[in-house]
Structure 1
Amino acid sequence: MIRFKPLPLMSLLSIIAFAVLISFGRWQWEKYEQKSAAAEEPVAEMTIASYQPVEGGIQFVFGVRPDTHEQGWRVFAPVQEGDSIVFVDSDFVVGRDSPNPAEIRVPAAMRFGAPVSGASVRPEDPGPFAAPPRPLERRWYAVDLPAMGRNAGLENVADYYIAAAYVGTDGRAAANPFALASGADALPPARHLGYALTWYGLAIVLLAIYFAYHVSVGRLTLQRARPRED
């Protein structure tokens, strides 16, 4: 027979913490399933040929390149296409510190009006764990197109951006490593799976600690049933 006398306050806090951990795990698991399904879908490609770069409107988004694992800043250059503003993920500057806006220009090909081609990406809303942006420094830690547009004083910002090819130091263009069909620029599906397992694992550890503590203070015991006397 099990004898269990739970501590009220500890039990309440444990229930709340357990619910939070499970919700985070479920959220990351859903992200994993969504991105796994989206990774199998073809990437929507588009080309814009008639546009005008908006000088002085460049914004920087922190990211880790999936191909080289380098930390750096993605250069989002806004262009005017008709009545809309479209951001173009046009370059990547390696380094932890954000670039000096005065030293970064729109890529030469765009200044000369060459057609811009790439994946058309609708980014997800910034997650709750994204670091807060620093608009005065044009630094962003998640793609937030409306906020980036407002920071540059721009209106009619499109809800998608173009992940254009990056031009290396050797002058060769390479596919944008952040061009994912799901728009999930920061994390691949496997990372979300790892986070989900971590949250679920923490929930299991919480239960183990909760019951172990009750055992240690004698509030959870296993008593043998006394034999019935005839």
Structure 2
Amino acid sequence: MKFRPLLVLTLFTLPALALLVWLGSWQLERAAWKRAETDSYLAAGLRPPADLETLLCGDEVVAGQRVALEQEPSGEAVRLYGVDAGNRPGWRLLRPVDAPDCAEGYDTVLVETGFEPLNGEERAATGEFRLSRAPGTGMFTPANSPQANEFYTLAPEAMAARLAPSGTPSGDVLVARGAQSLPPHLSQTPPSRHYGYAITWFGLAAALIGVYLALHIARGRLIFTRSKD
């Protein structure tokens, strides 16, 4: 075999190939993480309901555990962007309850009491209360607008101003409510979809290698020769 690589083509191909392989590997890691999170959430939901002191004052806070509230959420609601059980976008309405005595740095925990579709009237939230992690942020997450009572992430200080005199809410956990078995960040992109993304990236990497080799063969820079007896 004789191989004389095209310099410019090779310099472009190698970084692109490395990027495609990295993206595929990253999606495999995401799939494994998502599967572990899903299994943990479903397993936590099988435990009997417990009060906030039991759930938040232990060694580990586990999302998905059912919550037995000892206090009725009340007062003005803060609006947190999200989706309902039908995957329709809107505002999750959150009201505070007193945090357990072990709480450090916050006075209340926000509880989902209703949902307001982007184009519709407010309706009460139904289903079991479950402990939930604060929604994550990404590159394209919009900025919070406290003046309009429109939040995309938990912002304890800004929310505290609207909830006064209830106190500062936790910025790490909230009590979600709904009929769906998994929160949106787990249900919207299941592990199977990440595997599909990984196959796509690895497929593009294989196609890139194929095109690279084909161009070299066409230009006579890659020649396969048989060994002579």
> What is the letter of the counterpart of residue 213 of structure 2?
F
Equivalent pairs counted in the alignment come to 192
Contact 2:134 2:171 in 1 (8 A): no
2:141 corresponds in structure 1 to: 132
Give, in angstroms, the shift of residue 8 of structure 1: 2.5
Aligned to 1:55: 76
Contact 2:98 2:109 in 1 (8 A): yes
**Aligned-pair CA distance for 1:33:** 1.8
Q: Does 1:176 align with 2:174?
A: no
Is the CA contact 1:31–1:192 (under 8 Å) kept in the aligned structure 2?
A: yes
Structure 1 residue 58: Cα displacement? 0.9
Paired position in structure 2 for 1:199:
201
Structure 2 length normalisation: TM-score?
0.64
Structure 1: gaps spanning 5 or more residues: 110-115, 166-174
C-alpha RMSD of matched pairs (Å): 3.5
Alignment of 1:1-150 (within 5 A): 2-41=1-40, 42=43, 43=45, 44-50=65-71, 52-53=73-74, 55=76, 57-61=78-82, 63=83, 68=86, 70-73=87-90, 75-82=92-99, 83-92=106-115, 98=118, 104=122, 107=124, 117-122=128-133, 125-126=136-137, 131-136=140-145, 138=150, 140=152, 144-145=153-154, 148-149=155-156
| Identical columns (%) | 24
TM-score (norm 1): 0.64
Letter in 2 for 1:79: P
Q: Kindly provide the CA deviation profile for residues 164-200 of structure 1, in whole angstroms up to 9, marking residues without a partner as x.
A: 12xxxxxxxxx135438xx635322222221222222
Q: Which runs of 5+ in 2 are unaligned?
A: 46-64, 100-105, 162-167
The structure with the largest helix share of the pair is 2
Q: 1:58 to 1:216 in 2, by over 3 A?
A: same
**Between Structure 1 and Structure 2, which shows a larger proportion of strand residues?**
1
Q: Say if 1:89 and 1:56 are closer, same or farther in 2 by CA, change over 3 A.
A: closer
* 8 Å Cα contact 2:93/2:116 also seen in 1: no
